[in-house]
Structures are given as C-alpha cells and as structure tokens.
C-alpha cells in the first residue's frame, strides 16, 4: 500500500491484529506461530491495494503460513531421519518416509489411545465415561473409583494465543468421606489429566 505513510500502515495493521486476537482467529485457524503469520500478513497488506478485500488478504496470508509450516515440519522430520527427499515417477521432487519413519509411525498407530471430544475437551474414551454436559462435566473412570469434575474457567491470552482454562475437582470414591482436590489447569494440563488412568498409581 504505497499510497499510505508508514504511520498509517502501522495503525491499520495494529487494528487488524487486535481484531484477530479478539475474534480468536489464531485459535480457530490452529495457528501456532502467530508471529510468523503476522509477518506474512504484513507482507500481503503492503502489496495490496484499495480494491482488495481483507478476507482475501487473510486467505493469502494463511496459505503462505500453511506452506511455511509444512516446510518446517518436513525439514524437522528430515533432520531426524524420518523422511527423505526423492524424485517421484513424474520426475518431481517429493518426500517419502524412511524405514525408521515407517517404524515410528507403526509404533504410534499401535500405541494410539482413542480420543473423543465433548465441549472442546479431549479425553480418553477408554479410561472415562462422561455424565452431565451443562455447566460442568463429570469424567468417571470405568471402575467407579474416582471422578474428575470439570468447569470451564474462561480464556486468557498468553502472548501468542488465547488459552482456555478449567476448574477441576478430583474426587476419590473410596476415601471414606467427603473429599475433593481442586486445581486450576489450562487446556494442555487438562488433556493430560483426562488421558491418565489414575488407577495405575
């Protein structure tokens, strides 16, 4: 946007960035490296003109970001010896899994735990049964030994993305009386809790 001054461009870019954070755009689009996406967005804005729609600019930025993310993943897998670059039947460069990569994939498939989702909460279907899906959710192990009560606690920005937090109460059915251990956790900690069989401890 050469017709704009640097100050005008900074103001426009800042307003767009704020709206993206407010609308949870990065979370909905599963953008992990927000800084890199914003870099692509700034480039697209600089090249755009008055007739370009913001939705088109965001789409182009997302396409560039996804390409970059795939490249980073392939580079990481290549460095670990899990994929290699080859020439395919059409004479084009392509990636294929190495023997070690195939073995790792088979191990992951063998050890995979079935993960279900309810109210945006991921949990192990093999470990827990679920009751109540209004304001709170109860995850009860199939042995009826304990339960974890989960209540959404709102979101907070961690500097890169919006993070969901939850109130949790762990109740032991065999403690001999009323009990409950409270803990405030983020979505990652909750995922770990709801994919752990505490009967093994």
- Model confidence pTM above 0.75: no
Residues lower than pLDDT 50 in the chain: 1, 111-113
Rounded-to-integer distance, Cα 13 and Cα 46, Å: 10
Rounded-to-integer distance, Cα 32 and Cα 157, Å: 13
Question: Is residue 181 within 8 Å of residue 175, measured between CB atoms?
Answer: no
Domain regions of the chain by residue span = 6-79, 81-112, 115-200
pLDDT at 1: 44
pLDDT at 60: 92
132: left (phi over 0), alpha (psi -120 to 50) or beta: left
């Amino acid at each position: 946007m050469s017709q704009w001054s640097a100050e005008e461009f900074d103001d426009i870019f800042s307003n767009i960035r704020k709206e993206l954070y407010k609308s949870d755009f990065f979370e909905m689009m599963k953008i992990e490296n927000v800084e890199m996406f914003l870099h692509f967005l700034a480039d697209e804005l600089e090249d755009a003109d008055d007739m370009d729609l913001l939705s088109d600019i965001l789409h182009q930025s997302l396409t560039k970001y996804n390409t970059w993310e795939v490249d980073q993943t392939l580079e990481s897998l290549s460095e670990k010896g899990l994929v290699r670059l080859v020439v395919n039947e059409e004479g084009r460069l392509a990636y294929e899994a190495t023997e070690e990569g195939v073995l790792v994939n088979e191990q992951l498939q063998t050890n995979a735990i079935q993960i279900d989702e309810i109210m945006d909460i991921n949990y192990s279907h093999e470990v827990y049964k679920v009751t109540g899906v209004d304001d709170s959710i109860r995850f009860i192990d199939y042995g009826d030994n304990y339960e974890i009560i989960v209540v959404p606690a709102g979101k907070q920005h961690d500097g890169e993305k919006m993070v969901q937090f939850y109130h949790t109460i762990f109740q032991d059915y065999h403690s001999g009386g009323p009990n409950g251990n409270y803990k405030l956790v983020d979505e990652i900690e909750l995922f770990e809790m709801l994919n752990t069989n505490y009967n093994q401890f």
